[in-house]
Structure 1
Amino acid sequence: MTDLPNRVEITEEGPREGFQIEKGPIPTSDKIALIDALSATGAPRIQVASFVNPKIVPGWADAEDVVAGFTPRPGCEYFALWFNAKGMERAKTYADRLTLYSSITVTASEAFTKKNLNKDHAAQLVFQREHVAAHQAAGVPITRISVQAAFGCNYQGEVTVADAMRVIADAFEVAKDTGCAISKISLADSMGWADPAHIERLVGAVQDKYPELGIALHLHDTRGLGIANAYAGLKMGVRMFDAAVAGLGGCPFAGHPGAPGNIATEELVFLCQEMGIETGYDLEALLEAAALAQRIVGRQLPSNLLKGGSLSKFRRAA
């Protein structure tokens, strides 16, 4: 497929993705201020917090206070991350502010499964069945499959298309056995191993096998190929992407501290707008939010567009 989409949906994950790895502590008020700034950018969806064990991810010990404190904007969906039933129950307290849903999550690298979750693949599948049952009992829908380390792994090395497709098939078995209606597959380049050709191969394989499903890409810019990989996804017709304002964040278990995290939201929005693809974002407002994120963490963030700025003022002057 070579036709670019007319419009894409870019989910903003900066607050959750970013503040989980900062040495901090980041004041709760600053987290709320960034969420409110992002709400003013036209973002369709913002991941605002992680309901996880604060002993493991201390950056989100204040998840409840953050979720209670931001100001929702009509038309924007706010959601959170959790990994178990306890986290789900914490999130359910804020069902009036959050859209609640979860995923069947598998990892294409068993080494990363062990590092990240302290489980092998078989144990992860058992846990996912328990995870689904708990969410179904609580009335929380599970409509997507999420594949971590779908393109490669710092602990295992190469992850082939066949490796990724195998764990996707396992996830669909869980969905079939538990009665989950899956509508989306999210492919995560958790440690920055993807390149454009690999994006095309795996996205193409998923499209061929599951043509009825939407595909989302969660791309990290660890080795500078994030935007190139996003462009490869766009050329394959992918319409859903995750990104993080100013390039905040990264996985705390990925084994490369200090490396860039998700692709910067403003860079992906800029790419799309320059090619005539609608995003719904106000790029100038997004750059203001990126500058705020940089002030909050007190260090230079990876976004090149934050340094160089958009082209709007130069076009006005021409």
Structure 2
Amino acid sequence: MSDLPKRVSIAEEGPREGFQSEKKMIPVADKVRLIEALAETGLKHIACVSYVNPKRVPTMADADEVAQAIRQKPGIEYSALWLNQQGLERALRGPLHVDGGVRVTASDTFSKKNIGKSVADALVEQRMSLKTFKDRGMPVEWGVILGAFGCNYEGELSTELILHRVQQALDEAELAGFKLTGIKLTDAMGWATPQSVYRLIGAVRSKWPELEVSLHLHDTRGTGMAAAYAGLQLGVTQFDASIAGLGGCPFAATDGAAGNICTEDFAFMCEEMGVETGLDIDRLIDAAKVAEEVVGRLLPGHVMRGGTLKAAKAKAAQKAAA
């Protein structure tokens, strides 16, 4: 276990991961309003839409409209998610950034629920996407293991299985002429705890010490922030988060599926521990309030209500001086 990193990078997932789980349709203008509020916070990566089947995820039916409506600021990567070749082709026709990568779902059941294909079939189809990246000269540097910490359908997943999935990602990339430099471990199911983060990252690094590891954690069972802190202790410097804790995977098989760890809460914690994020916490709070306005309900973020310690200290000092 190492000292905490000096700086971390936080990628915003709220507009994509968040809106996909909403039961009501969110107007395009409101989605864009949140994305543009996030662009004022110092974030360098904002996931905006998913190019997925609108019958399965109705709130992403307007992905093309949202993508076209965003007024992109220089220096920010506005991205689109895709899950199959059809989605990739739609994404490539649009104005948003498309990441080249290899995705492997940890459990076969979650793969069928989330993607509509078994792990084996999804890997075969993904070879078309990798060929597309190769033909276009697009880099493929990251592998993503979906549901790496456990499965609400199949239960506990062995470390050996996850290492096998990482190897599959590496093999598929190599087969297509790419070499992965990093692995993102994701937890849409909300199973990650500090102990499982230590165990799984330790196992990955033991076998592939050259690979960078990033984390995409959810807070379904209230352990997301603790798991993120464990990641910090291990020197992880790349995290996904969601403004105000917005979101949740619609195929995670739990009524309490929560969004990613809350962006402003995680950024606040990092900054208070001396870990730089490059983010403006006050503007993140403003964006979190926009997120609540857009969805029309309270969201689980804490700092947006409690405020920063800087503000609390200033208020206390004023009272003491009065």
TM-score class normalised by the smaller sequence: over 0.9
Tell me, yes or no, if the aligned pair for 1:41 and 1:281 is still in contact at 8 Å: yes
Match of 2:98 in 1: 100
Deviation at 1:61, TM superposition (A): 1.1
Output the amino acid matched with 2:28: T
Q: Does 1:257 align with 2:255?
A: yes
Question: How far apart are the structure 2 equivalents of 1:64 and 1:117?
Answer: 20
Q: Which moved more, 1:81-90 or 1:36-45?
A: 81-90
Question: How far apart are the structure 1 equivalents of 2:109 and 2:22?
Answer: 25
Tell me, yes or no, if the aligned pair for 1:100 and 1:140 is still in contact at 8 Å: no
Q: Does 1:88 align with 2:79?
A: no
Question: How far apart are the structure 2 equivalents of 1:140 and 1:122?
Answer: 24
Give structure 1 stretches of 5+ with no counterpart.
Answer: none
Residue number among 167, 170, 187 corresponding to 1:169 in the alignment: 167
Deviation at 1:238, TM superposition (A): 0.2
Deviation at 1:172, TM superposition (A): 1.1
Match of 1:186 in 2: 184
Match of 2:114 in 1: 116
Question: How far apart are the structure 2 equivalents of 1:312 and 1:93?
Answer: 45
Match of 2:301 in 1: 303
Deviation at 1:129, TM superposition (A): 2.0
Residue-pair matches, total = 316
Match of 2:148 in 1: 150
Residues 236-271 of structure 1: CA deviation (Å, up to 9, x unaligned): 000000000001111110011343211100111011
Deviation at 1:166, TM superposition (A): 0.9
Residues 128-151 of structure 1: CA deviation (Å, up to 9, x unaligned): 223312332344432210001100
Output the amino acid matched with 1:300: L
Tell me, yes or no, if the aligned pair for 1:85 and 1:135 is still in contact at 8 Å: no
Residues 67-120 of structure 1: CA deviation (Å, up to 9, x unaligned): 1111212221111101122222222223xx422222211111122112222322
Q: Secondary structure at the match of 1:157?
A: coil
Output the amino acid matched with 2:294: I
Identity of aligned residues (%): 49
Q: Which moved more, 1:233-242 or 1:45-54?
A: 45-54
Question: How far apart are the structure 2 equivalents of 1:313 and 1:153?
Answer: 40
Tell me, yes or no, if the aligned pair for 2:81 and 2:98 is still in contact at 8 Å: no
Residue 139 and residue 90 in structure 1: after superposition, are their counterparts in 2 closer, same or farther (change >3 A)?
farther
Question: How far apart are the structure 2 equivalents of 1:100 and 1:111?
Answer: 27
Question: How far apart are the structure 1 equivalents of 2:74 and 2:117?
Answer: 40
Tell me, yes or no, if the aligned pair for 1:48 and 1:79 is still in contact at 8 Å: yes
RMSD across aligned C-alpha pairs, in angstroms?
Answer: 1.4
Q: Does 1:57 align with 2:61?
A: no
Match of 1:19 in 2: 19
- TM-score with structure 1 setting the length: 0.96
Deviation at 1:206, TM superposition (A): 1.3
Q: Which moved more, 1:119-128 or 1:165-174?
A: 119-128
Give structure 2 stretches of 5+ with no counterpart.
Answer: 318-322
Question: How far apart are the structure 2 equivalents of 1:109 and 1:251?
Answer: 15
Output the amino acid matched with 2:27: P
Output the amino acid matched with 1:143: E
